[in-house]
Structure 1
Amino acid sequence: MVEIIAPRTGTAFRLAKGQRLTVIDPEGEQVSDMVAFAQSDPREAISSGRSLDYASKLFLTTGDPIYSNCSNVMLRIVEDDVGRHDFLLTPCSKDTFRIIYGDEDPHRGCFGNLAEALAPFGIQADQIPVAFNIFMNVQIDGETGAFTVEAPKSRAGDKIVVEAQMDLIVGLTACSALQSNNYAFKPIHYSIDGEASSG
């Protein structure tokens, strides 16, 4: 069953070990921020630093694991139509829109949406890590390190599939930042498939 995340909103849910999460960009050029926490201890969360360090690359794709801050594999990418996602930038927030866009009455962004969605699972806002920003296209200058956020390379119907390597709590958004989504806000679709693994 396909679930819909409306533009500029988020959700959270449990994902059991062995289950697969498919995240779909139904219209194209829409980012989805994903965070994950261990059900057994939500202090264990996905880690950009460890995942990129162990992979020795900035862009994760099919076959790559996503590690936790405890160096355990939380998720593995098993299918990827796009091959370009970001794991450097923090979820957009009120401060993002105030500082970067100069908004006087800023939207709460993915950070606020994740905080609300994760609260029923006992996860506090200050526990939210750098997200795995699905479909986000960050271009980096190899000499200076300067970066720009470009339009996502995802087209309508493109997807990424990740498999849980432990029992997880997952937060997922339809990103709220104009620049990340080529200046339009669209929904994100997702589905959960497969049986939970024991042990």
Structure 2
Amino acid sequence: MIRQSERQPDEAHLRQVLDAGDYYIGILRAGETMRITDLEGNQAADTLFYRADDPAERYSATDTIREQGNIYLGAGSKLMSNRGNAMLEIVADTCGRHDTVGGACASESNTVRYDLARRCMHSCRDSWMLAIAEHEEYGLDKRDITHNINFFMNVPITAEGGLQFADGISAPGKYVELTACMDVIVLMSNCPQLNNPCNGYNPTPVQLTVWAH
């Protein structure tokens, strides 16, 4: 479902462009709203969420899918934790749907999907690992890297129940907004993947915009 936002960028307290392949890690406080904007279209923003004061509570794809009865996220979706608590709610969305099951690129998946020569290509898992290594203050380690959300990514389910990494359905300027229901750590990799059509084989920047209560 498409739902426009009335928030104005000049009223935000954070505006940051995240280049393809870069990471973002930070805390979104309860009541704050983050907009992720696909600046050039068909980009994928691979994102994980954790409870800020207890990172053992984290975003759960399983609980989120079960509670909303849909594998895709859109306006009105609540992102649930592994303890059954609402972490964030999607309050605006101009893309239409976002992936919960496709996972993130890693050296292992690059090898299996594409070729041994692709093993050492930059991946979202590499970006996350770099983020937690450079920001020990958040208390995360590699065991906390679990299933993620792929904002703007198009992963249709086939009639046989498989996954298909398809052309994106986003476009320049499309965005998704999430309001935090609790203080959460946001860990994002702006996907550098060159080998599937999720970003048109051309990774591009996204913009993060945050508003207070």
1:150 pairs with 166, 173, 177, which one?
166
2:82 pairs with 46, 69, 94, which one?
69
2:93 maps to which residue? Answer: 80
CA RMSD after TM alignment: 1.3
Letter of the aligned partner of 2:204 in structure 1? K
Q: C-alpha distance in 2, partners of 1:159/1:103? A: 35
The reply on whether 1:136 has 2:153 as its aligned counterpart is: yes
Q: C-alpha distance in 2, partners of 1:71/1:101? A: 36
Letter of the aligned partner of 1:122 in structure 2? G
1:116 maps to which residue? Answer: 130
Aligned partners of 1:11 and 1:113 also within 8 Å: no
- What SS does the aligned partner of 1:96 have? helix
Q: C-alpha distance in 1, partners of 2:102/2:208? A: 22
Alignment length (residue pairs): 194
Q: 1:107 to 1:126 in 2, by over 3 A?
A: farther
- More displaced, 54-63 or 101-110? 101-110
Q: CA deviation at 1:19?
A: 0.4
- What SS does the aligned partner of 2:74 have? coil
TM-score, normalised to structure 1, is 0.93
Q: Provide, for residues 83-134 of structure 1, a one-character-per-residue CA deviation record: whole Å limited to 9, x for no partner.
A: 1211012221111211111142522411110122134112011211211110
2:7 maps to which residue? Answer: none
Q: C-alpha distance in 2, partners of 1:127/1:63? A: 26
Q: C-alpha distance in 2, partners of 1:167/1:186? A: 29
- More displaced, 119-128 or 77-86? 119-128
Misfit runs of 4+, over 6 Å: none
The reply on whether 1:99 has 2:112 as its aligned counterpart is: yes
1:187 maps to which residue? Answer: 205
Q: Provide, for residues 39-86 of structure 1, a one-character-per-residue CA deviation record: whole Å limited to 9, x for no partner.
A: 111011100000001111111211110000111000100000011211
TM-score, normalised to structure 2, is 0.87
Q: CA deviation at 1:11?
A: 1.4
Q: C-alpha distance in 2, partners of 1:151/1:193? A: 31
Q: C-alpha distance in 2, partners of 1:60/1:4? A: 23
Q: CA deviation at 1:25?
A: 0.4
Aligned partners of 2:102 and 2:163 also within 8 Å: no
Aligned partners of 1:59 and 1:83 also within 8 Å: no
Letter of the aligned partner of 2:42 in structure 1? E
- More displaced, 181-190 or 65-74? 181-190
The reply on whether 1:57 has 2:74 as its aligned counterpart is: no
Paired-residue identity, %: 26
The answer for unaligned runs of 5 or more in structure 2 is: 1-13
Letter of the aligned partner of 1:161 in structure 2? E
Q: CA deviation at 1:29?
A: 0.7
- More displaced, 107-116 or 80-89? 107-116
Letter of the aligned partner of 2:187 in structure 1? G
Aligned partners of 1:2 and 1:189 also within 8 Å: yes
